[in-house]
Every structure is written in C-alpha cells, then in structure tokens.
Amino acid sequence: MSLVDAVSWGSTPRVALGVEYLGSQYCGWQFQRHGISVQQVLEQALARVADRPIKVHCAGRTDAGVHAIGQVVHFETPVERPERAWTLGVNANLPDDVAVRWARPVAADFHARFSALARHYRYLILRRPVRSALWHQRALWTHRSLAIAPMREAAAALVGRHDFTSYRALACQAKSPVRTLHYLDLAERGALLELSVGADGFLHHMVRNLVGVLLAIGRGDRPVNWAAELLALKDRARGGVTAPAHGLYLMRVDYPDAFALPADRKPLTAEPDDEGLAVI
C-alpha cells in the first residue's frame, strides 16, 4: 500500500499546503510586531475554515519583500475538511496576493522544514534603460549593462560544498555555514536575467548576497575571481552588497517521494512574452 492510499482526508490530523504569494506588502513570512506577515494572514484564513486556531510551519522563512511560488507549509488539526475547503475555502479568506495552490494529507512524520531535501530560488533582474511599472517590486531593475560570461564563470566557482560564511548575514543563526550548492545558473530571457539556484539549504540572506557579488562582477566593478576569493576568506565583513529582496522568489522545495506530494506542485515555467519579459 502506498502512502497516498494509506493517508487520506480525515485519516490524519496533518495537512500540507503549497502556497504562493507576492511579498511586497508583507513584513516577511514570520509573525512580526511591526507589520502584517504572510504567516498571519494564512493562519487567520485557515482558522476560519477550521473554526479554531491553526499554527503552520513553513519550509523557508522568507524576508520582507521576498515572493514565493513554491512555499510549502504543514499544520495539524483534529477537524475533518475536504481538500476543497483547504484550497478554495482558504483562498476565499485570503488577500489577493496570497493563495493556496494545493492541499494534501501527509503522514505524521512529515515536516515542511525538516523533511526538505533541497530548496530552489530564482532572482530576476530587469535590464533596460528605463524602469518598468509592471515589474515594480517584482524584479531588480538596472540600467547598467551586465557582462554575463564573467558572471557565469564566477557562479561556477561557487557550486559544490563550501563554507559560505562570506555569503551569509552577520546575524545568521545557523549552527553551521557549510552548504552544498547544487547549481547556480544564469539565463537570459529578453530583458530579464534569471539567476536560478538550488541547494540542500540556504543561510540567511545567502541568495541575495550571491546575487550582489555576481552583479558587481557583471558590472565590471570586481574581477571574476572575486566570488571565489570571498568564499575562501570566510568573512562576511569583506563580502559584497546584499541584493534587494523584491527580485527573489522561492520556487520549489524538494521532499522524499514517499511523502507523495502532488505531482503538479512545481511552479509554472517562465516563458518570454513579445517584449522578452518572462511571465511567471
């Protein structure tokens, strides 16, 4: 018997959700005293459907302004609700910039954060002489030209298992700075430059710091070997500028196949439109 057959609606108190959101209007994923968080509005919507308080646990705590297409959360509740209640019902109680994409009953040992095998992010950079109204707070705009070849060369030197101290926030609380970067790719889609990165885990501000270093290299402000030199220094104080949050998207979180999460949980592929701007 597969996990899908063994775990069904009403047979488990634990449910996983796929969530997408635009982070522009939120103080981040996690509850904050000074503003509204994505976690807050999601838990409020879930509580209305469950008719009782709900506490959710996420795969990755995104910062203020960061977006998500493939965030995963789980929660426990003793009430029985059909899948439509956890998707359409919850969405009816959410603001327009937050939505549940799918819901799935999961085994008791599933944890959105600790069961994850890898996380995948994308950072979007809009390259054109004038700013865009449509991409405001959805991509980093730069009017300066970027040399892509040295950026790709520098990115390649960062792939693998390394100590990423130079690429994490000074306030990062992770016990170890060692992570395995599976890939760091750059793709040109018309006016957009997409930086895609996947790893077994990320440190606080790690992706934005990687982007900041690659941007400095692409602009010619730093040599191509600067990325590797920073890696070897293991000193955040010597690192580059942290790229703004609004270009960053949590795209996907990978889990063991045994948890049988929906096959369609992967995000839509970005395709260039007539202007060469990718549609997410």
Residue 235: how many other CB atoms lie within 10 Å: 10
Residue 143: per-residue pLDDT: 96
Indicate the domain borders of the chain: 3-115, 118-249
d(C-alpha 149, C-alpha 133), whole Å: 29
- For 59, the token pair is 């795969």
d(C-alpha 246, C-alpha 46), whole Å: 26
Q: 254-271 burial by CB neighbour count: b if 16+ within 10 A, else e?
A: bbeeebbbeeebebeebe
For residues 6 and 108, the answer to whether their CB atoms sit within 8 Å is no
Q: Which residue has the tokens 């892509």?
A: 148
Closest CA to 185 of 122, 252, 248: 122
- For 31, the token pair is 């509850």
30-44, 155-169, 260-274: segment of lowest average pLDDT:
260-274
Which whole number is the average pLDDT over 20-29? 97
How confident is the model over 223-238, as pLDDT tens digits?
Answer: 999 999 999 999 998 8
Angle value at C-alpha 9, between 7 and 10, nearest 5 degrees: 100
Confidence band for 240, pLDDT divided at 50, 70 and 90: confident
Which residues belong to the active site? 63
- Per DSSP, the three-state class of 212 is helix
Which residues fall within 8 angstroms of residue 127, CB to CB, at 6 or more apart? Answer: 142, 145, 146, 191, 192, 193
Pairing mode of beta strands 67-76, 14-21? antiparallel
How confident is the model over 64-85, as pLDDT tens digits?
Answer: 999 999 999 999 998 989 999 9
- Per DSSP, the three-state class of 105 is strand
8-22, 116-130, 132-146, 195-209: segment of lowest average pLDDT:
8-22
76-80, 90-94, 116-120, 162-166: segment of lowest average pLDDT:
76-80
Percent of the chain with pLDDT over 90: 83
Looking at residue 53, the DSSP 8-state letter turns out to be: -
Confidence band for 11, pLDDT divided at 50, 70 and 90: low
Query: 3-115 and 118-249 share one CATH topology?
Result: yes
Q: What's the CATH class of domain 118-249?
A: alpha beta
For residues 253 and 70, the answer to whether their CB atoms sit within 8 Å is yes
Residue 12: per-residue pLDDT: 62
Beta bridge partners of 274: none
How confident is the model over 124-177, as pLDDT tens digits?
Answer: 999 999 999 999 999 999 999 999 999 999 999 999 999 999 999 988 889 999
DSSP run (H or E) holding 14: strand 14-21
- Per DSSP, the three-state class of 248 is strand
| pTM strictly above 0.85 | yes
d(C-alpha 173, C-alpha 164), whole Å: 13
d(C-alpha 153, C-alpha 150), whole Å: 5
Which whole number is the average pLDDT over 32-54? 95
User: CATH assignment of 3-115, given 1.10.3720.10, 3.30.70.580, 3.40.50.2300, 3.40.190.150?
Assistant: 3.30.70.580
